[in-house]
A and B are shown apart, each in its own frame.
Chain A
């Protein structure tokens, strides 16, 4: 009886945060965020750790579907305006989908198609895998702009690899842009080396990621403890791919650079996350 009461009191203590999470992270598609799930997630950790875990959760920047769409559409509209001023007509603009259909890049492009009506304006769309079309289209247009689209770039390695391969087949003079709501500092640097301009709302700096080694957002003890918990969950990928420890989550999935304390482990067993990736479920 005493134990149940204690548990109840603990739950009430964190209920405010759980309610906040429920409202703030609404619409996360891989697994809907419910109050029950947030409580379940939080209470799997020791009580003494929960305060800092809640603090970490509150550091997450969440992009709902609506916000993602409005961000990408607005960024695109501003870019098109700029290109028009520079003398690049819409029919000389090529949008590139970076990954397979169903990927975040394809979803972002569809948003632009639906909301931005760019297809009707005469812009072109090419899948980055369709090398021949890239060659033939750029050869035909001779000049213009190439716009790569995605929601997020972390290390920039994947983008660089894809772009480097097909860039060999680009004919003519094309300015290049990477349109995306959020880009990490690391990817931004990679892009600058390629001469591809990031058109973005946020550059997610290392300092903004509480568990990143270059961040001092949390005091050392809290940070070390959180990293310890992450390491318990997944020794190798504790802070996400390449230890990037990013803190951005999109409605349709979370990046693999998110610390595992938020993601949970594969199959969500024994540790489950508040933002499991589709591949983790």
Chain B
């Protein structure tokens, strides 16, 4: 990038950021003169803190001015900051309280400033859909000419992982993105489907070249979508098991088993994710859990300073039981186990 372009880009960014914190004039507005921000869904606000704020406003009125701008053609002011205060006032007015709200009236934000404000709202959402953020981020990238994740994070206030996930989503062809824009929630593919499926599609494309050649990357994606619609992917998080299965496979033979299973998984729509891959990862989870248990056990014994205790009989029995169990287990794991007298006849 040339120094000039870089300087222009920096100017754009500064302008965008500055526009989010504008200066304005102070007025008192009626509740009916105010319009909530359309990007701010109503389910965003927790009831309890809202009730506290409402009671506070009932007693003292609105102390901190909200920030608004005039909406052209509608004789209303749209909220930039202060949605919660507004909602409390709306409720109080419906309860019969006459109320006006101090408002700092500023110029309407330009497109980028509006998007940055939208991001700040999305950041407060607990369960936010990635798609609106991703599409808006695409606009920011195009308008500011800035693609670097770290810089975008600084500009937008979104975290770097959020930006990475948005980018990943934008990497899909539009026809797939559109499946996440479907207004009917029953038909909509959630945006995290794409982010979780991405490494699996990559793995299938890389490790199954014949399949990739035959049906293409889109074919693999289509099959996963079909599988999701057929409810054979119970949770998109289960895609992680596929990657885990591949990563924990210790030798070529085991890796090949995972890849063969992946081929079957991609082509056989009815094969459910966990059913296909649990056998590869469950052992690994048990092993990791046991290693942690051993470490914790040893560490706890060390911390207990038992070397010179006087009441030691019970402890000795307990430790011998542990030793016996460990010895048997070690023999089994090292391949020289002998029949367990307790279970042999069962």
Contact = CB atoms under 8 A, between A and B. Distances in A.
Interface of A: 82-83, 86-88, 128-129, 131-132, 135, 139, 142-143, 145, 162-177, 192-195, 197
B290 interface: no
Nearest to A196: B35
Interface of B: 32, 34-36, 38-39, 41-42, 69, 71-74, 76, 78, 90, 108-111, 114-115, 118, 129, 132, 135-136, 139, 174, 177-178, 181-183
A139 B183 CA distance: 19
Contacts of A171: 111, 114-115, 118, 136, 139
A161 to B, nearest CB: 9
A195 B39 contact: no
Given A174-B71, A175-B74, 14 more contacts: A86-B72, A131-B181, A139-B139, A165-B183, A168-B41, A169-B132, A169-B181, A171-B114, A172-B114, A176-B38, A193-B90, A194-B36, A195-B34, A195-B38
Nearest to A87: B72
A280 to B, nearest CB: 24
Nearest to A131: B181
Contacts of A135: 135
A168 B129 contact: yes
| Chain A facing B: main interface SS | mixed
Contacts of B34: 195
A128 B139 contact: no
B122 to A, nearest CB: 9
Contacts of B38: 163, 167-168, 170, 174, 176, 194-195
Given A164-B41, A168-B39, A192 B183 contact: no
Contact of A168 (B72, B76, B111, B132): B132
A172 B111 CA distance: 5
Given A87-B72, A175-B71, A129 B36 contact: no
A50 B144 CA distance: 71
Contacts of B111: 139, 142, 171-172
A197 B78 CA distance: 13
Given A162-B183, A167-B38, A173 B73 contact: no
| Chain B facing A: main interface SS | mixed
B108 A143 contact: yes
A169 B135 CA distance: 8
B73 A88 contact: yes
6 contacts: A132-B178, A171-B136, A172-B111, A176-B74, A177-B74, A195-B34
B138 to A, nearest CB: 9
Nearest to A85: B73
B118 to A, nearest CB: 8
Contacts of A164: 41-42
B288 to A, nearest CB: 40
B181 A132 contact: yes
A202 B177 CA distance: 41
A173 B78 contact: yes
Contacts of A168: 38-39, 41, 129, 132
Contacts of B108: 143, 173
A194 to B, nearest CB: 7
Given A166-B183, A167-B38, A173 B109 contact: yes
Given A167-B38, A168-B39, A195-B34, A82 B73 contact: yes
Contacts of B90: 193
Contacts of B76: 175, 195, 197
Nearest to B133: A168
A172 B39 CA distance: 10
Contacts of A131: 178, 181-183
Most buried by A among B36, B38, B73, B90: B73
Contact of A173 (B41, B72, B136, B181): B72
In the complex, the 4 A-B pairs of residues with the closest C-beta atoms, listed nearest first:
A195-B35, A175-B74, A167-B38, A131-B181
A175 B174 CA distance: 28
B38 to A, nearest CB: 4
Most buried by B among A128, A129, A164, A171: A171
B342 to A, nearest CB: 61
A163 B38 CA distance: 9
B39 A193 contact: no
A199 to B, nearest CB: 11
Contacts of B136: 171
Contacts of A88: 72-73
A129 B71 CA distance: 25
Contacts of B114: 171-173
B239 to A, nearest CB: 25
A171 B111 CA distance: 7
B188 to A, nearest CB: 10
Contacts of A86: 72-73
B154 to A, nearest CB: 21
